[in-house]
Amino acid sequence: MKYNEKVYKEGKDNNNMILPGDLSRLPDDFLKIIVFIDNAYLMRVKKHFFNEGLRYNVRNFVETLAKKTKCIVKKIYLYDAPPFQSKKSSIKENEKKKLYDKFISRFKKDNIIVREGRTQRLKINNIFVYKQKGVDMYLGMDLASVPLESDNVKGIALVSGDSDFVPVIEKLKKKGIKTILWTYFERKRDSPFSRCNELIRLVNVCIKLTKEDFKEAEENK
């Protein structure tokens, strides 16, 4: 099988969902990759599967997926933004920042490279809305830099559901970089996980994340 073939396949279930592909069709040789994680997206997927919460190890999560996708992980980049802090931060804001710093520290101990944007607070109709800024920019810049990495790295895996990354994925493919998408989506109406068709069609390999992927990386099992 050539790597430009998709490994996901159309499901035959009642919801007509795309399911994870037949991984036995992947190449026998393991592909060396760099992994890029949109952490806000990954957390949203985890919360979708586990309303009660789940303590899991991100590096183990990545390594498990990589093994299933017949890849060897050389680096992991994780992108996030610290919670908003007022000029005179409140007790609640300080608590959120302390919890955030604790998680970021765990990632760094696992040799995960953390890239941070910032959180912007907007007031819309007298309601505060919080948005991450700069995160996608950093992720896109680092993706575009992959061809400058060691010759041993010939692929990337992206954990995201954002079609904004289509242009940079197109450029990577033109440079001969194999592209893998680890994502989750639904076809249900009003679902927060809309299907990023253009991104799915573009990548070499698309794997749909499952609840079991998180469970396999669960800590203190």
DSSP 176: T
pLDDT attached to residue 125: 78
Show me where the domains of the chain are located.
36-207
What does the block give as tokens for 209? 């994340």
Cβ(85)–Cβ(130) below 8 Å: no
H/E element, 74: strand 71-80
- Per-residue pLDDT at 21: 46
What does the longest C-alpha to C-alpha distance in the chain come to?
58
CB 148 within 8 A of CB 158: no
The residue among 29, 35, 91, 15 whose CA lies nearest residue 207 is 35
> What CATH topology corresponds to 36-207?
Rossmann fold (3.40.50)
pTM score: 0.82
Q: Which position has the token pair 């609840």?
A: 211
- The one-letter amino acid at 99: L
Q: Cα–Cα distance between 7 and 25 in angstroms, integer?
A: 7
What are the distances in angstroms from CA 171 to CA 47, 74, 122, 148, 168?
Answer: 32, 21, 34, 13, 5
**For each of the chain's 221 residues, which pLDDT tens digit applies?**
444 445 554 343 333 334 444 444 445 578 999 999 999 999 999 999 998 778 999 999 999 999 988 899 999 999 998 888 888 888 888 888 898 889 899 999 999 999 988 877 777 777 777 777 778 899 999 999 998 876 678 899 999 988 889 999 999 999 999 999 999 987 776 666 776 788 888 999 999 999 999 999 998 75
